[in-house]
Amino acid sequence: MKFLILFLLVFAPISVFADNIQLPSPNRTGGMPLMDALNNRKSARSFDERDVPLQKLSDLLWAMWGISREDGRRTAPTARNDQAIELYVMKKSGVYRYSAQENSLTLVLAGDQRRTAGTHDWVQNAPLNIFIVHDLNRMRGPEESRLEVANMDAGFLAQNAYLFCASAGLNTVVRMMIPRDEIRALLNFGANIYPSLAMTVGFPHAGR
């Protein structure tokens, strides 16, 4: 019994840590010319169920909310540079929090939770749902305007996602009508944590 307890204490943390994902370094050059990406940008609600490779996922997350300058500023602006945003990535294997500093995904909740991402089949079967989440307590300015500002900030990240997906051959659609109460309960968010928008992402169905 003592050996079993010692084994669990020593090795259980390793198995939990192993569920985290170290992403490959994002490709920060190349891609489709901007005007072509703008021309090809569109919303799509049809997704192949195959996984998005980690390299494309790393590139997408960097495009949305990566660190682009030595002073810590990001690929998308925020009001007053508050940077009160976290990205939560819902995959078949679990829900992860993106760290731009570490370029990694930290496991928040294991298992397929995609049924909570939205009511449509194409949402629940898509390989990726990315939630743009604001910590309202980290935002400055009048409290009554923070939700409005959060939605504005989230729109910048969403447009970055659209342009990247147009360049990378991925389908995506932004969703503002998301089950916020279910997401809050699932991830134990406090009252100050506000899921602003979601992006559903995946490859187009072959031949469509």
Residue at 13 is within a domain: no
Query: What is the number of domains present in the chain?
Result: 1
Residue 204 is given by DSSP the state P
Cα–Cα distance for residue pair 102/185, rounded to 1 Å: 27
Model-level pTM? 0.90
Helices (H) and strands (E) in the chain, counts: 6, 7
State the average pLDDT over residues 166-170: 98
Q: Looking at the predicted structure, is the pLDDT value of residue 10 above 50?
A: no
| Residue-range definition of the domain harbouring residue 131 | 21-202
Distance of CA 18 to the CA centre of its chain: 20
Residue at 112 is within a domain: yes
Q: Looking at the predicted structure, is the pLDDT value of residue 13 above 70?
A: no
Q: What pLDDT score was predicted for residue 206?
A: 76
pLDDT in tens, 66-95: 999 999 999 999 999 999 999 999 999 999
The single residue listed with the structure tokens 């294991």 is: 110
Residue at 12 is within a domain: no
State the average pLDDT over residues 164-193: 97
State the average pLDDT over residues 98-125: 97
Contacts of 202 (CB under 8 A, 6+ apart): 47, 48, 49, 50, 52, 126, 127, 128, 170, 171
The enclosing domain of 37 has a CATH number of 3.40.109.10
Contact of 193 with 136, CB cutoff 8 Å: yes
